[in-house]
Amino acid sequence: MLRPIVRYPAAVLQTQAAVVTTFDAELDRLIDDMVDTMYAAPGIGLAAPQVGVSLRVCVIDLSVGRRGGDLLVLVNPEVVSREGLQLEEEGCLSVPGFDATVVRPAKTVVKALDRKGTERTIEGTGLLARALQHELDHLDGALFLDRLRGIKRDLIVRKIRKRQREGAW
């Protein structure tokens, strides 16, 4: 089932999400809905706060569902290590229509549980490292906007406020 994607500056996007402690049918439903919503958008990643649920859950699929086995479900993810730097354009389904160049680690190792509560380690380079970092930021209430220099961030925020006033956001 598709869920509406929450947009900046909703409070849930700027809040530290809670640790998942119960692996039940409700969590399964949330994850399935997040995957559907990510594919429909379409996007390569989605975090639970983006559908208004303040829990440490995110989904990533660089192939947007085209390659079976690419889907990653991360519950309570934690960064194990970061290495190097990459500088690429990045966007967010909660900040539609805006892209910006964001500095991210070139390589990231993340430890997370799957939907059954089994631990796994994910090693990402390039786009996957970027996606992992972007989604994990969401769980800590941070958006890519928060990683921009003040002047660049202000410019985007001003444009969003203008769109809000015009009822186009």
In the complex, which residues of this chain contact Zn ion (CB under 5 A)? 92
Classify the C-alpha dihedral 80-86-37-13 as positive or negative: positive
Nearer Cβ to Zn ion (76/133) = 133
Cβ-count burial of 60 within 10 angstroms (0-12 exposed, 13-18 middle, 19+ buried)? buried
Four-point Cα dihedral 10, 58, 79, 136, nearest 10: -20
Nearer Cβ to Zn ion (55/92) = 92
CB of 137 vs Zn ion, minimal distance in Å:
8
CB of 41 vs Zn ion, minimal distance in Å:
11
CB of 45 vs Zn ion, minimal distance in Å:
7
Nearer Cβ to Zn ion (20/47) = 47
Amino acid at 63: S
**Residue with the CB atom nearest Zn ion in the bound state:** 92
Nearer Cβ to Zn ion (72/92) = 92
The closest alpha carbon to 84, from 111, 109, 108, 102, belongs to 108
CB of 22 vs Zn ion, minimal distance in Å:
25
Q: What is the 3-state secondary structure (H, E, C) of 24-69?
A: CHHHHHHHHHHHHHHHHCCCCEEEHHHHCCCECEEEECCCCCCCCC
- The yes-or-no answer on residue 135 being catalytic is yes
DSSP class of residue 106 equals S
Active-site residue numbers?
A: 135
